[in-house]
Chains A and B, each alone.
Chain A
């Protein structure tokens, strides 16, 4: 689909009390996409959501939705659905009245309104005959009502603020899937704010990683996993978090580990192959699920085995390489012989980053 993207955010800037919340932010979202805004707290994702919904005015920049400039439009004219982290259901109204609220504002009444309320409640998996007050429902049910309320108005854009963070672990998995399925059924362009990378990777078409008010990388989940743009992203994405091993290039073929020991890896992982000059400091991202342990062999990184955590199907093996600590994820059945062993990282597509800037070092091929 060429032409203007459905949602276009350009050069958005916002500062409060001296601190910059958003810094010259750009983002394009296609119609019908499910985008996750991922980042740690304070990265500006909630601010962005508030600006998109019209509850906050940006200092600079523009927002275009379906071709129209909505930057200065007040929230009640934007037709953008908003689901809050704490649901914000109106306590003095019943469930149906809550869901019908947006329709009342649009002037839709009577049978048509009832039908839309029924439809919205059914879509979120609630019984339309539910005639209670919000305070009588469980957290999970309240959230569904909040979503139903937002989609009843058939919004052009649906914004979800940390929808899963108030749910317990079990419910989280279930609702995660349902959110995606809801999106697929309704086709509403959806933006979900979260600090949980697993959620973002599992549900979104594209993930926008943010930090300190800036967009770091905006890609499909696989792209983010395989080609993180910065060390921060590499470390952030994936569970358990990737190891970031600080290395200094000694010469073309070997690295200096923290603590001074040397490591001569496979040629594909050597400094020369990756365009790293001697003396340069780097970070190598090593994903726990891709590492192997074995006995002495070429390219192996000498490590000492520390604690082992059993997690059911897997075991997390904590090791020390010089002064650095690393974690591996191995199947529970694997026998781990200690105290010394050799760690073998994967040799395809190494993830190397400049230790100072955090930027990904290109792999010369």
Chain B
């Protein structure tokens, strides 16, 4: 028999843990609004000046642009490849299904820093160091597992008998894809695109090691400034925006297509 008291205690503990998880992010968002020159929480004054500064800062603008471009390209490639593979694995049910799934999800379990070092050396040998192609390949590799996991889960949920019914009603495989499979897979496609983009955009570990001087993404620029100059308010402002954007994307995704279910 649970008493009200122990219920309340549990709730309090749970709340505390949640706050612990979210606090740093909330701090980041709030302190971006601080008008002062130092990174301070809670903010003494409120101002948007650092956001303005961020938008006007050319280095940051270019790194944000690069991050976005890279994110979009990597997402399109990763989600496409992952969807095709998921379709093959779920509908084709080959013998090697388990092995391929492990392969596709490998980056989630193996340490990226180790891999990045290896990739760096190989790229150097191949003369691909610092190229956009090399960077794109790396980003597709880190985002594909997320997309694959979500697309496999999504396709598993689509009853194959729906596709069979469509065929019996005269739909060719192409029509089945267009009228039945794709519409039903849409929430999964949106979820995996959102997650893939976020993962690529926010990646520090891999990009820091792989990206050449010409392709510095926002997180990498932030990280290097952090180590040399410490934290400055412009960085915080941009960081806050990114976190807010990520949070927003997750909330919207949850509302519209139940993002959390697809993991």
A–B touch (CB < 8 A): the answer is yes
**B58 — which chain A residues lie within 8 A by C-beta?**
none
Q: Decide if A105 touches B180 in the complex (CB within 8 Å).
A: no
**For the complex, what is the distance from the CA of A101 to the CA of B168, rounded to whole Å?**
11
Q: Decide if B159 touches A102 in the complex (CB within 8 Å).
A: no
Interface string of A228-247 (1 = CB under 8 A from B): 00000000000000000000
Q: Does A88 contact B (CB under 8 A)?
A: yes
Partner of A54, one of B161, B167, B180: B167
Q: Does B166 contact A (CB under 8 A)?
A: yes
Q: Decide if A102 touches B184 in the complex (CB within 8 Å).
A: no
Partner of B175, one of A88, A105, A149, A150: A105
**A267 — which chain B residues lie within 8 A by C-beta?**
none
Most buried by A among B162, B164, B165, B183: B165
Q: Decide if A90 touches B175 in the complex (CB within 8 Å).
A: no
Q: A74-B167, A78-B168, A90-B180 are in contact. List 10 more A-B contacts (CB 8 A).
A: A75-B164, A76-B169, A76-B170, A77-B170, A82-B164, A82-B168, A88-B162, A88-B164, A90-B165, A91-B184
Q: Does B66 contact A (CB under 8 A)?
A: no
Q: Chain B's nearest CB lies how many Å from the CB of A84?
A: 5
Q: Decide if B171 touches A76 in the complex (CB within 8 Å).
A: yes
A-B contact pairs, 11 of them (CB 8 A): A53-B164, A55-B164, A74-B167, A76-B167, A76-B171, A81-B169, A82-B165, A88-B164, A92-B184, A105-B169, A106-B170
* Chain A-chain B contacts (Cβ-Cβ < 8 Å), number: 63
Partner of A102, one of B164, B169, B172, B180: B169
Partner of A80, one of B159, B161, B168: B168
Q: Does A165 contact B (CB under 8 A)?
A: no
Q: Chain B's nearest CB lies how many Å from the CB of A102?
A: 4
Partner of B168, one of A81, A86, A91, A106: A81
Q: Decide if A75 touches B162 in the complex (CB within 8 Å).
A: no
Enumerate A120-156 residues with CB–CB distance to B below 8 Å.
149-150, 153
**A75 — which chain B residues lie within 8 A by C-beta?**
164, 167-168
Contacts A92-B183, A92-B184, A101-B166: A86 and B161 contacting too (C-beta < 8 A)?
A: yes
**For the complex, what is the distance from the CA of A55 to the CA of B170, rounded to whole Å?**
12
Q: Does A79 contact B (CB under 8 A)?
A: yes
**A78 — which chain B residues lie within 8 A by C-beta?**
168
**B180 — which chain A residues lie within 8 A by C-beta?**
90
Q: Decide if B172 touches A90 in the complex (CB within 8 Å).
A: no
Enumerate B147-197 residues with CB–CB distance to A below 8 Å.
159, 161-162, 164-172, 175, 179-180, 183-184
Most buried by A among B161, B164, B170, B179: B170
Instruction: Determine chain B's interface SS by DSSP, over half rule.
Output: helix
**For the complex, what is the distance from the CA of A79 to the CA of B164, rounded to whole Å?**
13
Partner of B161, one of A88, A92, A153: A88
Q: Chain B's nearest CB lies how many Å from the CB of A154?
A: 12
Q: Decide if A105 touches B165 in the complex (CB within 8 Å).
A: no
| B184 (CB) vs chain A CBs: closest residue | A92
**For the complex, what is the distance from the CA of A79 to the CA of B165, rounded to whole Å?**
12
Q: Decide if A55 touches B166 in the complex (CB within 8 Å).
A: no
**A106 — which chain B residues lie within 8 A by C-beta?**
170
Q: Decide if B165 touches A84 in the complex (CB within 8 Å).
A: yes
**A91 — which chain B residues lie within 8 A by C-beta?**
162, 184
| A159 (CB) vs chain B CBs: closest residue | B168
**For the complex, what is the distance from the CA of A106 to the CA of B170, rounded to whole Å?**
7
Q: Decide if A105 touches B171 in the complex (CB within 8 Å).
A: yes
**For the complex, what is the distance from the CA of A86 to the CA of B184, rounded to whole Å?**
18
Contacts A90-B180, A92-B183, A92-B184: A55 and B167 contacting too (C-beta < 8 A)?
A: yes
Most buried by B among A76, A92, A149: A76
Enumerate A90-133 residues with CB–CB distance to B below 8 Å.
90-92, 101-102, 105-106
Q: Chain B's nearest CB lies how many Å from the CB of A288?
A: 39
Q: Decide if A88 touches B165 in the complex (CB within 8 Å).
A: yes
**A79 — which chain B residues lie within 8 A by C-beta?**
170
**For the complex, what is the distance from the CA of A330 to the CA of B159, rounded to whole Å?**
47
Most buried by B among A75, A81, A153: A75
**A86 — which chain B residues lie within 8 A by C-beta?**
159, 161
Q: Decide if A84 touches B161 in the complex (CB within 8 Å).
A: yes
Q: Chain A's nearest CB lies how many Å from the CB of B227?
A: 51
Partner of B159, one of A74, A77, A88, A149: A88
Q: Which 10 A-B pairs have the closest CB atoms?
A: A105-B170, A102-B169, A82-B168, A75-B167, A88-B165, A88-B161, A76-B170, A92-B183, A76-B172, A105-B171
**B165 — which chain A residues lie within 8 A by C-beta?**
82, 84, 88, 90, 149
Q: Chain B's nearest CB lies how many Å from the CB of A80?
A: 6
**For the complex, what is the distance from the CA of A88 to the CA of B166, rounded to whole Å?**
9
| B168 (CB) vs chain A CBs: closest residue | A82
Q: Chain B's nearest CB lies how many Å from the CB of A70?
A: 13
**For the complex, what is the distance from the CA of A149 to the CA of B179, rounded to whole Å?**
16
Q: Chain A's nearest CB lies how many Å from the CB of B189?
A: 14
**For the complex, what is the distance from the CA of A96 to the CA of B183, rounded to whole Å?**
17
**B164 — which chain A residues lie within 8 A by C-beta?**
53, 55, 75, 82, 84, 88
Q: Decide if B168 touches A53 in the complex (CB within 8 Å).
A: yes
**For the complex, what is the distance from the CA of A55 to the CA of B169, rounded to whole Å?**
12
**For the complex, what is the distance from the CA of A77 to the CA of B172, rounded to whole Å?**
9
